[in-house]
Structure 1
Amino acid sequence: MTTATEHVAAAAAHAPTSGEYIKHHLGHFRSADQPGIVDFSVINYDTIFWSVAMALLTCLILWAVTRRVTSGVPSRFQGAIESIVELVDNQAKAIVHGDRSFIAPMALTVFLWVALMNSMDFLPVDLFATIFRALGIQGAHGEPFFRVVPTADLNGTFGMALVVFGAMIFYNLKIKGLGGFIHELFTAPFGAHPALWIFNFGLNLIEFAAKTVSLAMRLFGNMFAGELIFLLIALLGATWVGFTAQSVALAGLHVALGSVWAIFHILIVFLQAFIFMMLTLVYIGQAHEGH
């Protein structure tokens, strides 16, 4: 008969280290290994899949609401969506001084889409590893890498930020015209003197770049940090080797900290979606204003 100590030793011999566990869960299901920080030939399939899936779910939710709209007492579901619509519309009115027929629905879609992508962080960190193990799915180095939070991938948040950048440029051209936009690039904010053109242009380029980078990094940083904390908390439960004092204590700490962080993370999930939506409105609203 094996002792508890022998069970602990056997489990420790086969279990991955903390670093290996975290590295595996932060790895992507991608088209090829990425040797450097930047490689545009590598595609993260999991980020694309869950981004598209949450986009389709966003459309499905909005479609379901429009199909069930009633003029009487609304259902809880309809009331919740109407509250979000009113919130976004009020923010759009306060920020964008112009035609909002496209901007307000876009902001609503952005808010719901980002909120749903962020909410994927509430799934158990080992859910898909367990599913892959049960189905016998193996990658080149054991269980395949797979991540389900698109906003914890800088590629995903940068893609969204570039779309917002494109919207900024589009509305600058639409509102001010090509000539007006170019004139503003070279004459604002320091003035129209030719000696200041290079400084104005350089500052405006930095401003556009800073807006795009900060929009992507803010969402990515918050969601990546939240995902990492969930993994660290999961490591407490991963030390379970039986009803020993240490295992029971760490498992209890795992449940307590996991519950507290999950509740707090609800605020982060929706706050970051709201911030991303607000900054999108602010950046597009600035295109409607001249220096």
Structure 2
Amino acid sequence: MAVNANDYIQHHLKHWQWSPVGDTSSFWTFNLDTILISVVCGLAFFFTFHYCVRQAKAENPGKLQVAVEAVVGFVDGQVQTALNQHDSNVSSLALSIFMWIWLMNFMDLIPVDLIPFVASHLGVAYFRAVPTADLSLPLAIGLSVFCMIVFESIRAHSLKGFLYDVLAHPFSIYFFPANILFRVVEEVTKPVSLSLRLFGNMFAGELVFFLIALTPFWMQWFFGWIWLGLHLFIISLQAFIFMTLTIAYLGMARTSH
């Protein structure tokens, strides 16, 4: 049981972990809480949208259908603006990224002690409920986007064209060592910036909620509602930025220098 502010925060920053080698300090350690919540959020997104598609009505649509159609239309509009064309594949990817990240961010708005309290009664000593505040998950999404960018570049220009672009840009082909170095730096910054931006904002927001939880009970409601309103904007903005940059990077991958 936490006895002071430092112990309380340290307790909430520990993950529910498992390692196949038996040592949770090793590289092969899985944060089970991050995996569980991210899967639950992904399934919630999938089944909600699938239900709306199956139950969609042209006349007198329900509020949920209207909300889902608004989100889909918004994302599709962002794709068309960035790519100057309709692309159902990119729109589907952008929608999945936006909604999945938003739902995982939304977990930060649930009272910080609620889910760990329930988990403790199920025999789980530590539980962090915000997957995007765990660097491993934003980094994994960023690396996945990076792989899709490389794949899209090869698909758009062929492997030969992609390799030539790496060797000949921004200088001529004769300066290919410098070109490769520039390209590596340029490409590495994409997943790193995507990951750290999302992780930094969500981790900071999580810490603010921890600090609010340490204030007297009568102050928690005042500060909690103020920060909750602001943080609702932040979690939406971070999901939007991640989606928008993903669309932009895919659009850049299709163009030729």
| Equivalence map 1:30-69=2 (5 Å) | 30-32=17-19, 34-35=24-25, 39-69=26-56
What is the deviation of 1:187? 0.9
For 2:233, what is the secondary structure of its paired residue?
Answer: helix
The verdict on how the C-alpha distance between 1:114 and 1:132 changes in structure 2, with shifts beyond 3 A counting, is closer
**Structure 2 equivalent of residue 152 of structure 1:** 133
| In 1, Cα distance between equivalents of 2:173 and 2:202 | 45
**Structure 1 equivalent of residue 254 of structure 2:** 288
In structure 2, the gaps of 5 or more residues are none
What is the deviation of 1:75? 1.7
Alignment pair present for 1:223 and 2:202 = yes
Q: After TM superposition, which residue ranges in structure 1, 4 or more long, deviate above 6 angstroms?
A: none
**Structure 1 equivalent of residue 244 of structure 2:** 278
For 1:224, what is the secondary structure of its paired residue?
Answer: helix
**Structure 2 equivalent of residue 77 of structure 1:** 64
What is the deviation of 1:98? 6.0
TM-score of the superposed pair, with normalisation by structure 2: 0.94
| In 1, Cα distance between equivalents of 2:75 and 2:157 | 25
What is the deviation of 1:110? 0.9
| Equivalence map 1:93-132=2 (5 Å) | 93-97=80-84, 100-132=87-119
The answer to whether the 8 A contact 1:28-1:146 is kept is yes
Identity of aligned residues (%): 37
**Structure 2 equivalent of residue 173 of structure 1:** 154
The verdict on how the C-alpha distance between 1:91 and 1:129 changes in structure 2, with shifts beyond 3 A counting, is closer
What is the deviation of 1:130? 2.5
User: Aligned pairs, how many?
Assistant: 254
The answer to whether the 8 A contact 2:169-2:179 is kept is yes
**Structure 2 equivalent of residue 162 of structure 1:** 143
In structure 1, the gaps of 5 or more residues are 1-13, 237-249
What is the deviation of 1:131? 2.1
| In 1, Cα distance between equivalents of 2:142 and 2:134 | 13
The verdict on how the C-alpha distance between 1:268 and 1:126 changes in structure 2, with shifts beyond 3 A counting, is same
Name which of 206, 210, 214 aligns with 1:235.
214
For 1:102, what is the secondary structure of its paired residue?
Answer: helix
**Structure 2 equivalent of residue 11 of structure 1:** none
TM-score of the superposed pair, with normalisation by structure 1: 0.83
For 2:61, what is the secondary structure of its paired residue?
Answer: coil
**Structure 2 equivalent of residue 208 of structure 1:** 187
The verdict on how the C-alpha distance between 1:132 and 1:154 changes in structure 2, with shifts beyond 3 A counting, is closer
The verdict on how the C-alpha distance between 1:262 and 1:170 changes in structure 2, with shifts beyond 3 A counting, is same
What is the deviation of 1:252? 2.1
Name which of 64, 79, 89 aligns with 1:92.
79
The verdict on how the C-alpha distance between 1:138 and 1:104 changes in structure 2, with shifts beyond 3 A counting, is closer
| In 2, Cα distance between equivalents of 1:179 and 1:129 | 52
Which shows bigger deviation, 69-78 or 166-175?
Answer: 69-78
The answer to whether the 8 A contact 1:175-1:288 is kept is yes
For 2:30, what is the secondary structure of its paired residue?
Answer: coil
**Structure 2 equivalent of residue 246 of structure 1:** none
| Equivalence map 1:7-26=2 (5 Å) | 16-26=3-13
The verdict on how the C-alpha distance between 1:97 and 1:34 changes in structure 2, with shifts beyond 3 A counting, is farther
| In 1, Cα distance between equivalents of 2:70 and 2:45 | 16
Q: Deviations over 1:150-199 (max 9, x none)?
A: 10000010111111011101100100000000000011122x240x2111
Amino acid at match of 2:229: I
Name which of 224, 245, 251 aligns with 2:217.
251
Q: Deviations over 1:48-81 (max 9, x none)?
A: 1111111111111110110121112322111111
